[in-house]
Structure formats: C-alpha cells, structure tokens
Amino acid sequence: MSRRVRGFTIAIVLFAALVPAVPAEAEAVAGRPAKPLPLERLFDNRAVSDDSRPAAADLDGLGASLSAGDLAAAGWTPGRALTVQGARLTWPDRQPGEPDNVRADGQSVRVRGRGDALAFLVTGTGGGEPGGAGSVSYSNGTRSSYVLTAPDWRTGPLATKAVALPHVNTPGGRLTERARLYVVTVPLAAGRTVASVRLPRAPGLHVFALAVRASGAGWTGSWAAATSGYPAVGPWHDRTLRLVVHTSTGGPRVRLRFDNTFAAAPVRIGGATVAVQAAGAAALDAPVPVSFRGASGAEIPAGAQAFSDPLSFAVPEDTNLLVSFHLPDAVTAAPVHRVAVQRSYLSAPGDHTADGSATAFTTTLTSWPLLTGVDVGGGPGAVVVIGDSITDGTMSTRDANRRWPDVLADRLREQDQVPRYGVLNLGISGNRVVTDGYPGDGVSTDTGGVSAPHRFDRDVLAQTSARTAIVFEGVNDVRWGTTARQVIAGLREIAARGHARGLRVLVATVVPCEGEARCTPAVDAERVAVNEFIRATDAFDGVLDFDAVVRDPARPARMLPVYDSGDHLHPGDAGLAALARSVDLRLL
C-alpha cells in the first residue's frame, strides 16, 4: 500500500508471518511451468533502445524506451554489477532492443541467498504506482509474503530513484525528460535461505534484477554520514581527499563505503587508504591501502556505491581516522555531507593516499564528500539516528565530536548494562520530515537533503547491522509552515517502515526555539501538537523527551539559556550533552 504525504509518496512494505510452503504443483500458474527459473530466462519486455534505433524497444506499451547511450554514460552497462542500498544487483546483460526485463505477472524466479532484505531493480509504467503481493520461498519449506510497488519511470519521485537518465527515446525522436529507475527492498525472514521468489501480478511493474542483500553479519557500523546534496565542487582533478571521521566503536577489521548518490555520471576512486590520525592531516602510522574486489580502486556508477574489501586493521574506538582517496579524473560536482563540523583536507595535485605527513594537504574542507560509512569487524550492531541540524551538530564545537550522538556513544562505551552499540549519525542540517530540501536530482546549492521518509531506506534500513533507529525531526517542518498533522503522518510512516524491517524505532520530542526568527507562537503551537502526539502514541517503541530536557520551565516555548547556543534554535555543547545524558540506554 502507499500513502501520500504533502506531495510525496511512501511505499509501505508489508511482511506476513511465515507459513508452510505449498506443493509446487499448487503454485503453478496456467500455461507457465511452476519450476523457478533465473530472471533473465523470463525476460519478456524490451526497455532499452539504441539512440539510432529507438523503435527497437517499447518499455511502456506506447513505444517509449530508455536510452542505451544515457545508461552507458551513467555507468550502467550490460552485465555490470551495481551495489545500491547494500544490495549487489546486475544490470541485464542484453544489447539494446533485446528482452531485458520482466513484466511482473506471478512468475517464479530462482534466487539464492541469505540476508535481511530482497532488493528489486524496478520501474513502473502506466502513470501510477503498479504493485501487488508476492511471496518468498525458503529452503526449509517456509514462505513469507511481501508487497512491492514501483514508482512510474517518468513521473515518480526523483528523491528516491537509484538513477535518472536525461532522455526518453520514442519512435518520433528523443525527448529531454528524466527517465527513472528504482531499487526497492522488502524484508526477508531472519536466518532463512531464500530458494525462490514469486513476483506480484502487477501490470506495469517491470523487474530488471533482484538479489538478496547480505545482512552485514560480522560487521558493526562505527561511523556514517548521510548524503545531503549534490553541489558543485572544486573542480578536483588528480587530487587526494583526506577525510577525518570519528569512530564510535572499534574492531579488528575495517571496510569503507563510498556512495555516488544523486549523481548522473560515474566517479572513479584511484586508490584509498586508512590510518589513525595523529594531528590534522598527519597520520599516526603509515596509511594502509584498501582494495575493492581485489583492485586498488573502483569506478562507482551513478547512484551506486562501493564497499572496500575487508582489511585487517585495528580500529580503535572513540578515535579519529584519516580516510584518504585519490580522484584521478575531473570531478566538478559530488555527493556531499555538507555540515561535517570537522576539518578535513584536500591535497595538491597527485596521489597522496600513502603519505603519512600532512605536507601535501594544503586546503581545508568542511564537508564529507563521497565517503558515507566505516564498518568494523564484530560488535553487537548499531543505533542509527536520523535527524536534522541538531543531530548533525550545527553550533557544536568544531573538531571536538560533541554532537549528541557522539556523547551517546561515549555513554554506551562506559557501561555494561546494554550492548556497546555503534552509533551512526545520519543527521542533515536543514532536513525535514515532509518536504525535500534538495530535490534529489541534479547539481544544487541546497544541501538540506531529501525528506526523512525519502531517505529512510538508504540512510537507516540499509545501514550495516542497524538494530535501533532514533527519529528526531520536525522543527524545520513547522518553522516553514508544515502542519502538525502532516508531520505526524510522516512520523507514523517512518515507524511503520522501521517495524516492517524488524527495527526497534524510538522517537524524540521537538525542542523549543522561541527567539529564532521563524519560531512564532503559531509555529510553537504546531510543535506542541507534534509533541503531544509523540508522548501519547504507541506507534513507536519508546519516547526520548528532549523537549522536557532543554526547555525553560518558566517559558516552555524557549530553551534554557544554559543550553542555548545563542541562536535560540540549536543547543550548544551543554545542551547536546544534556540530550544524550537523558537517553535511557535500556530503550536502545
């Protein structure tokens, strides 16, 4: 099912209880063998055309198709493996004009693997959101059901697409219009091995690839950042970026994650290293190279990501790492996390990933481009915080790691009552529950990110070893005219989607901001209404009453001065620490 909230659509994935498998003959569809077949043997539609022969394909039944040239320019070439939302999917190994996708009609697809989700590379035709119920069969004879919907390839939200192509091919010529492809995931039964997947009966739902997403077993997320936009940069050509990131938990192995989110073209990483920071851009010991599927570097297609290979490297907890990577080609725009509250570094020309000294790193950066995750071996899993500038650490002390999730990580390390989870900060300054700041496509000066629901799958559900999610958003919505009713609807959707994936989901009340220009009495009334819902609802697994922690008892619409950074909207270091100290760790 889906629900529309203030101009965007959120697909809700339903996960039914396991039921005994039925005999294969009872599963047969008239005229179709019951035996599961590889997806490529079921291809019955031609979606991709050569630009010189557009009539050779017909994705939508009206003669329109995807451009093979545009796909190649994005790095989506025939037979290429693409990692999106942690799932490794293969773009069909077909030439333009050949069958390259399945129109979902109850086909039984042979799929193998064990993980936390089943990922579909899909798009919809017909102008709506085609979808329906399917099922997953497991090797132990059990089965689960799911609901899958696909946004339309020409009108669906750009904020949630995997890739957008700049043209649509038609028999009458090429149209300058965005064509969208999506990756949608549905939950799998924990610990079960998938044997086959029954597709929905859903006219207009086109499936190009599907795969089981590995659960991340054996890894814990230690640091993460959300891509907040796709601004112009540099340009960087033959430069090395040395990013400073702070671990929450440690481990004996490390792997890095790079995301080319929102991009229209591939980006190439020539090489990368990891080291413990000594000071500034200087490493404590010689930086250690990482590899990517055995190679020293990686090309990341538009909208995709790359994980480095596991590396034996002792990652200390509560420590700054230097992650260095060389960009050999010209990069004029890049996915970034804009507000790092941390100085990182850009080198003079050349590959300086192996440099232990800071000499070559002559420019300071205040954002985190491309790098989105650091995982460590072992550990109990991670708490993922999705929020806005208060979570991002705006107005906290730079280079000091005093964001409230950092302080929460300190508390977890210092106790033995609950597991010492990693803490992943997916806050974005300017982010909202209802409205996209950054539109989700193209180069933009707005780095407020897509809305929390639009980024929830990528920034929460796909995080390594996520166990609990904390949602702390809403003040930007009400400050910019969104009603409490709309914010509440968005929060409900987030809770439902988290629970469908087996996450524990907590919610925090919205803190006061009287004195900031937009925080009028009318805005405060909407904020109070959101908080009344939060305190009363059973939609979440627990409430963090941050409003009660920092508000002035004598004037509840404002923060206590001791916690106010001075702008009346963001808590300072003391206020952020108070938020973290108020968290009942048993709720995690």
Taking residues 57-78, what's their average pLDDT?
A: 98
| Among candidate residues 86, 40, 84, the one with its CA nearest the CA of residue 207 | 40
Q: Tell me, what's the pLDDT at 215?
A: 87
pLDDT in tens, 530-585: 999 999 999 999 999 999 999 999 999 999 999 999 999 999 999 999 999 999 99
Question: For all residues of the chain together, what is the average pLDDT?
Answer: 94
| Cis check: omega of the bond before 78, within 30 degrees of 0 | no
- pLDDT band of residue 20 (cuts 50, 70, 90) is very low
Distance CA 494, CA 437 (A): 18
Q: Tell me, what's the pLDDT at 261?
A: 98
Instruction: Give the distance from CA 276 to its chain's centroid.
Output: 26
User: 274 burial class (0-12, 13-18, 19+ CB within 10 angstroms)?
Assistant: buried
Output the CA torsion 534→538→544→550 (10° steps). 30
How many other CB atoms sit within 10 Å of the CB of residue 44?
12
* Lowest-confidence pick of 24-28, 247-251, 368-372, 525-529: 24-28
Angle, in degrees to the nearest 10, between helices 521-536 and 484-500: 30
Distance CA 579, CA 583 (A): 7
Taking residues 333-352, what's their average pLDDT?
A: 98
Q: 202 and 130 in contact (C-beta within 8 Å)?
A: yes
Q: Tell me, what's the pLDDT at 457?
A: 97
Q: 266 and 311 in contact (C-beta within 8 Å)?
A: no
Give the length of the chain: 588
Q: Tell me, what's the pLDDT at 34?
A: 66
pLDDT in tens, 211-261: 999 988 899 999 999 999 999 999 999 999 999 999 999 999 999 999 999
**Proportion of the chain above pLDDT 90, given as a percent:** 93
pLDDT in tens, 110-162: 999 999 999 999 999 999 999 999 999 999 999 999 999 999 999 999 999 99
- How close are the terminal C-alpha atoms of the chain, in Å? 29
pLDDT over threshold 70, residue 16 = no
Looking at residue 42, what DSSP letter applies?
G
